[in-house]
């Protein structure tokens, strides 16, 4: 950490580390050593406290069934700024396909639990990845921003209701989302989706939350 900060004192802001883990063998896991409940391990939490002491953030993602684990972790390290990617790892394919009633209820409950932790910020994006369960990557004619805005509204609205605009930020997630839509279509969809929010709320979603979470301009 010291070497990284010395090498880039004005740009190094934190560590990105994924802890995705799922018991189903067909789901890809990125957690180190395929470790279950990594967020609960003493070693991981010790490292997280080092980040907190240095004023650095921890960014990453997990799968939606792990959201309660993240809530416990965030409460255990309350001084650490945590940035959660991809609307909390919602997945609607493989073992979670055709189970929206159960899956979305579990996701909503997890998002609400994490939102109770004031040190967690949420990235609103990643919905173009096929694991979200939309068919956009299979279409001959790409989705447009109007349909995309309508499709994202239930998910994004719930996230913002739980976290508030001041802890949410729009996320491009490119190039992974490129399989489903272009960058300009995505941001036009963000603009369409957010037009009902106030100027201050839109500023938070597009800019201000990211500036605070990443301490852009500090140093």
pLDDT digit string (tens) for 40-55? 999 999 999 999 999 9
Domain limits for position 47:
2-213
Q: According to the model, what pLDDT value does residue 214 have?
A: 95
- The total of other beta-carbon atoms located within 10 Å of residue 118's CB is 11
* 70/76 Cα distance (integer angstroms): 10
**Which strand (E) or helix (H) includes residue 43?**
helix 42-53
Q: pTM (2 decimals)?
A: 0.95
Identify the CATH number of the domain in which residue 71 sits: 3.20.20.140
Stretch 61-68: mean pLDDT, rounded?
A: 97
Please report how the helices 183-194 and 145-163 are oriented relative to each other, as an axis angle in degrees rounded to 10. 60
Q: According to the model, what pLDDT value does residue 35 have?
A: 80
Number of domains in the chain: 1
Residue 207 counted as domain residue: yes
Residue 163 counted as domain residue: yes
- The total of other beta-carbon atoms located within 10 Å of residue 78's CB is 11
- Express each pLDDT in 85-141 by its tens digit: 999 999 999 999 999 999 999 999 999 999 999 999 999 999 999 999 999 999 999
Residue 57 counted as domain residue: yes
Residue 218 counted as domain residue: no
């Amino acid at each position: 950490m010291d070497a990284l900060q010395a090498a880039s004192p004005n740009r190094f802001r934190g560590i990105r580390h994924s802890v995705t883990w799922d018991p189903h063998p067909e789901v890809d896991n990125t957690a180190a050593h395929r470790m279950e409940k990594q967020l609960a391990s003493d070693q991981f939490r010790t490292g997280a406290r080092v980040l907190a002491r240095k004023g650095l953030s921890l960014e990453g993602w997990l799968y939606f069934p792990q959201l309660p684990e993240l809530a416990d972790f965030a409460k255990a390290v309350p001084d650490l700024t945590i940035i959660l990617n991809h609307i909390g790892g919602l997945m609607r394919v493989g073992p979670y396909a055709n189970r929206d009633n159960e899956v979305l209820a579990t996701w909503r409950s997890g998002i609400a639990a994490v939102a109770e932790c004031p040190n967690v910020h949420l990235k609103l994006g990643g919905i173009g990845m096929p694991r979200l369960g939309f068919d956009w990557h299979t279409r001959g004619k790409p989705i447009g921003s109007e349909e995309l805005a309508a499709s994202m509204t239930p998910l994004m609205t719930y996230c913002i209701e739980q976290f508030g605009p001041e802890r949410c930020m729009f996320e491009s997630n490119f190039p992974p989302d490129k399989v489903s839509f272009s960058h300009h279509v995505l941001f036009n969809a963000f603009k369409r989706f957010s037009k009902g929010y106030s100027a201050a709320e839109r500023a938070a979603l597009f800019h201000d939350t990211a500036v605070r979470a990443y301490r852009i301009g500090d140093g």
